[in-house]
Chains A and B, each alone.
Chain A
């Protein structure tokens, strides 16, 4: 009678195959962007892409790793400054400089994690912010990085504007695909199962053999690298990096808003959240201060009415999953409802 020997576990669902097709079509259409969209539109979309990457990375950290950070702007800044320094000062091709900047952010995030992980909960959140401020203060002391007034990104200005904008656009589109794919593959792996367990109950996860601190460190480093990738995109898009804006805590507010309204703990949520946030930003930009008031109100309303965010509403509380990471049993289980616990663990 044992179901165990012929147990079938499904990782993908019908909606996920549909999701893969939709994702490929959307990315393919977006890849035509430079031929169909104007320059302004492309630059705007780069902002959207960077928001998707940032939301995805904050969700990885908080939604899957259970770490609420308000200091990820440290890595946005490291990515942005890293790109400018490596490309302009060291003279390395900007498109090679981007992955190098991302790796450097990863190298920085490792020792920082040892510092930040001494704190937990609210103290961790505040601690990460303090660390981000410290990174900003250090950068402001470095003349080679333009100190307090910042630097302009020159390496790309040798290209014609049309070409430059198109390259940055494609780079950003690739970045989105990488960020979402890495998050998906990570969450789908055994490590991801451990992350989800840690988020729900770290003590129980540890007692089942999950290496809690090591898992959290992996999430933290990956998230830092992803934020650095977004930082590099922002620098390449605006061609100017200033410490006050690139290390602004506002980035954390954006990331939290995107993840909360989109739906925390899902891969789709931050993508939806970033699109909504970006649209609101565009529409409300004429309203001045009211823009922030409306954003705040919206965040409160959605948190109260839709705890699983907009994606939770669209997906019918998780019934539709474009990026499934769970383990579904394919065998019929109904007939086991009446079976009493067996007397021994053996069959």
Chain B
């Protein structure tokens, strides 16, 4: 299978803080890549670089065979890259339905009835349909996370980037979410998923990448990556917190 996303030599620094240093990896069409790493490893920054929220300092991003390194964020979404934010960013004064319809109307260019139906399907998939008429600002955390996912799905993505979508969820709430993401992957959507809950990741992803201090520490089979001594030392063994860079 061909690569949907190709990242080559990606670098980004904020002053003297290096958040991405020569990062290269591929994500094959229809597969799921998990990303782990301690806080401050540059995981969220990497997603911001791929989605175009932040400009890169060096390197290239190729999506579906096209160089999108300099493309605007909105155009990357239209091309099929969707993202959920680690800290949910709902449009608080709009209803849940309107929030998701923005994704359909702009990201997927589906307006009117087609767009309404696309939005409703995304709400149905994420279990939010009954809250459609509520102002998004009134949602609790779990539903805000679901809304992030619903909005991303409404853009009809071929690549979805999930930023700690399971963070803060209870053990009971986890299995339906894992099933949902697995279902997405099985339906042909390529997934890149940042998560601290390793067993949630390994239940779904085909490959795992470990980042530390903006560098790729290991990438490959999830179980092998989690067994590698460097990963154990820097990630599982570490106790210090560098503070999340997002």
A-side residues, CB < 8 A to B, are: 2-5, 7, 9, 190, 193-194, 196-197, 199-201, 203-212, 265, 326-329, 333-337, 339-346
Q: Which residues of A contact B109 (CB under 8 A)?
A: 209
Q: A206-B73, A207-B83 are in contact. Are A200 and B186 (CB under 8 A)?
A: no
> Quick check: B91 and A200 within 8 Å, CB to CB?
yes
Cβ-defined partner of A200 (8 Å) among B94, B106, B108, B132: B94
> Quick check: A208 and B53 within 8 Å, CB to CB?
no
Q: Which of B13-21, B176-184, B210-218, B225-233 forms part of the interface with chain A?
A: B176-184
B121 within 8 A of A: yes
Q: A203-B89, A265-B93, A334-B130 are in contact. Are A326 and B98 (CB under 8 A)?
A: yes
A114→B245 CA distance, assembly (Å): 31
Q: Which residues of A contact B101 (CB under 8 A)?
A: 193, 327
Cβ-defined partner of A209 (8 Å) among B77, B94, B153: B77
Cβ-defined partner of B74 (8 Å) among A9, A206, A337, A343: A206
Closest B residue, CB atoms, query A339 = B127
Q: Which residues of B contact A327 (CB under 8 A)?
A: 95, 97-98, 101, 116
B-side residues, CB < 8 A to A, are: 51, 53, 72-74, 77-78, 82-83, 85, 89-95, 97-99, 101-103, 105-109, 111, 113, 116-118, 120-121, 124-127, 129-130, 132-133, 146, 151-155, 176-177, 179-180, 183-184, 186-187, 189
A4→B129 CA distance, assembly (Å): 10
Interface centre among A205, A327, A328 (most CB of B within 10 A): A327
> Quick check: B132 and A329 within 8 Å, CB to CB?
yes
Nearest CB in chain A: distance from B88 CB, A: 9
Closest B residue, CB atoms, query A333 = B130
> Quick check: A209 and B53 within 8 Å, CB to CB?
no
> Quick check: A346 and B53 within 8 Å, CB to CB?
no
Q: Which residues of B contact A201 (CB under 8 A)?
A: 89-92
> Quick check: A205 and B133 within 8 Å, CB to CB?
no
A339→B153 CA distance, assembly (Å): 19
> Quick check: B117 and A343 within 8 Å, CB to CB?
no
Closest B residue, CB atoms, query A345 = B125
Nearest CB in chain A: distance from B6 CB, A: 21
Q: A3-B120, A334-B130 are in contact. Are A344 and B95 (CB under 8 A)?
A: no
Nearest CB in chain A: distance from B173 CB, A: 10
Interface centre among B74, B113, B130 (most CB of A within 10 A): B74
The 7 closest A-B pairs by CB, nearest first: A344-B183, A209-B107, A341-B127, A209-B106, A200-B91, A336-B130, A209-B77
Q: Which residues of B contact A208 (CB under 8 A)?
A: 77, 82, 102-103, 106-107, 151-152, 154-155
List, sorted by A's number, 7 A–B pairs whose CB atoms are closer than 8 Å.
Answer: A4-B120, A193-B102, A208-B151, A326-B94, A329-B97, A342-B180, A345-B189
A3→B120 CA distance, assembly (Å): 7
Q: Which residues of A contact B90 (CB under 8 A)?
A: 200-201, 204
> Quick check: A343 and B187 within 8 Å, CB to CB?
no
Nearest CB in chain B: distance from A197 CB, A: 5
A196→B74 CA distance, assembly (Å): 16
Cβ-defined partner of A204 (8 Å) among B85, B113, B187: B85
Q: Which residues of A contact B124 (CB under 8 A)?
A: 2-4, 336, 339, 342
> Quick check: A333 and B116 within 8 Å, CB to CB?
no
Can you name 12 extra interface pairs (CB under 8 A) apart from A196-B91, A329-B132?
A7-B116, A7-B117, A193-B98, A205-B106, A207-B77, A208-B152, A209-B103, A328-B95, A336-B129, A336-B130, A341-B180, A343-B180
Cβ-defined partner of A210 (8 Å) among B106, B113, B126, B153: B106
Cβ-defined partner of B116 (8 Å) among A9, A211, A340: A9
> Quick check: A200 and B93 within 8 Å, CB to CB?
yes
Q: Which residues of A contact B176 (CB under 8 A)?
A: 340-341, 343
Nearest CB in chain A: distance from B85 CB, A: 7
> Quick check: A210 and B183 within 8 Å, CB to CB?
no
Nearest CB in chain A: distance from B51 CB, A: 6
